[in-house]
Amino acid sequence: MSKDHHYDLVVVGGGPAGSSAAFAAAKNGVKVALIEKENSIAETVRTSGVTWIESIKEFGIPENCYNPIKNFSFVSPNNEVTISDSVATAAVLDVRKTYRWLSNEAEKKGVDIFVKTNINEVIRNDKNDIVGVSGTGINGKIIFHSKVVVDATGFTSTISKAMGFVTQWKRFGAGAEYEAEVENINSETWWLMVGQEYTPAGYAWIFPLGNNRVRIGVGVGKPESDVDPTERLKEIIKKKLGPIKKLGKITPIEFHYGLIPNDGLSRKTVFNNLILVGDTAGQANPLVLEGIRYAIKFGRVAGEVASNAIKNKKTDEKALYPYEENWRNAIESKINSAGKVQDRWIGLSDKEWDKELDIIKELKTEEFLDFIKADFGLSNMIKLAMSHPKLAVRQLFNLVKGK
């Protein structure tokens, strides 16, 4: 026998986008269900968890959820640069703790959380618009009727695919990492490693978590390279390549693997009674494949817009459009600029990477951080493209600007 539930808003996917959408909608007074297929929120970690202190403060993430980072080291086969800040601007999240904090905040606002519930079908009305979802829960078939659905299922985009609105991402990043205990690490310094031996398309990383814990990983751009990130990760650890050697003995604790879309902001993200958010919407910075802060920020916007629409009893595409307008205004041009830099980076040879690091050395700390965050303010870009004393830096920023 199936069990029927009735909600104003159903959010499918208990990642950062889903929990944030559920939180904001419940805060705005509507009845919300948040559905997660795993046994608990963040049971499986699929991300490295780097983000920015500014966003952490904006979202109110507690201090015990992250390790602050002040120094940014970049290594190519024959070059190295470390850019240091006087205060910590970046952080590595304890992903499980942070994602659970996000879902707890939603629960505190009255959201009903259903775990172990795998959604695989959509319910449509006679106009073919979505009016609910169904799947398998703890006690068998389960049905959720709702006025609006938020698809926050991440890379798989289960709901949008079931509606026939999207197909599988064609360009994406695949990443593998070990969370490990190591003998030596400066907990305030992260390492990004580039060049063919680390990965033919992408970068490798060491992100410290504090208490001699790190995440060591490899990301590979698809379809640009057919290298398996897990195999490559094992190889670079075995070879003790570059800064990995300095870590001393490495004792793996947990393995993480994930996929992140890299097709740009190609998807439409609102339909009648449906919003796409987070990785489902492709909201990720392609340069460093960073999406958590966008998932939280635009998850909250999605929840607010959806709940306002529900309260106004008008939930068609037009009523939900302010969500798409909001996130496009905030990040579309930045993500497009970052895509141009990524296109340049993905084809660099080892020698060219060595030279690229010479250009990065010329950047001031805040310029480097804006660059890596894809926070390309237009005036800042124009200034750098026009008047930076080094020609190579001017050329790089001209490319970002699109000239």
Ligand X SMILES: Cc1cc2nc3c(=O)[nH]c(=O)nc-3n(C[C@H](O)[C@H](O)[C@H](O)COP(=O)(O)OP(=O)(O)OC[C@H]3O[C@@H](n4cnc5c(N)ncnc54)[C@H](O)[C@@H]3O)c2cc1C
Binding site for ligand X (CB under 6 A): 12-18, 35-38, 46-51, 118-119, 152-154, 156, 158, 175, 219, 258-260, 278-280, 284, 289-293, 295
How far is Cα 217 from Cα 232, in angstroms, rounded to an integer? 9
Q: Do residues 41 and 115 make contact, with C-beta atoms less than 8 angstroms apart? A: yes
Q: Identify the CA nearest to 15 among candidates 253, 333, 219, 283.
A: 283
Q: Least CB distance from residue 142 to ligand X, whole Å?
A: 11
Q: Least CB distance from residue 241 to ligand X, whole Å?
A: 19
Q: 76 or 160, CB closer to ligand X?
A: 160
How far is Cα 166 from Cα 149, in angstroms, rounded to an integer? 16
Q: 152 or 204, CB closer to ligand X?
A: 152
Amino acid present at 196: Q
Q: 269 or 307, CB closer to ligand X?
A: 269
Q: Least CB distance from residue 266 to ligand X, whole Å?
A: 16
Q: Least CB distance from residue 199 to ligand X, whole Å?
A: 12
Q: 132 or 393, CB closer to ligand X?
A: 132
Helix, strand, coil % (nearest 5) of the chain?
40, 30, 30
Order of all β-strands in the sheet with 204-210:
79-84, 71-76, 189-193, 204-210, 213-222, 172-182, 250-261
Find all residues with CB under 8 Å of 279, minimum gap 6, and list them.
Answer: 15, 17, 154, 155, 157, 260, 261, 291, 295
Crossing angle of helices 317-346 and 292-311, in 10° steps, is 170
Question: Tokens standing for 132?
Answer: 């609910």
Q: Least CB distance from residue 314 to ligand X, whole Å?
A: 26
Question: Tokens standing for 166?
Answer: 């999207």
Q: Least CB distance from residue 403 to ligand X, whole Å?
A: 29
Q: 302 or 385, CB closer to ligand X?
A: 302
How far is Cα 302 from Cα 123, in angstroms, rounded to an integer? 21
Q: 268 or 318, CB closer to ligand X?
A: 268
Q: Least CB distance from residue 248 to ligand X, whole Å?
A: 24
Q: 47 or 79, CB closer to ligand X?
A: 47
Q: Do residues 3 and 139 make contact, with C-beta atoms less than 8 angstroms apart? A: yes
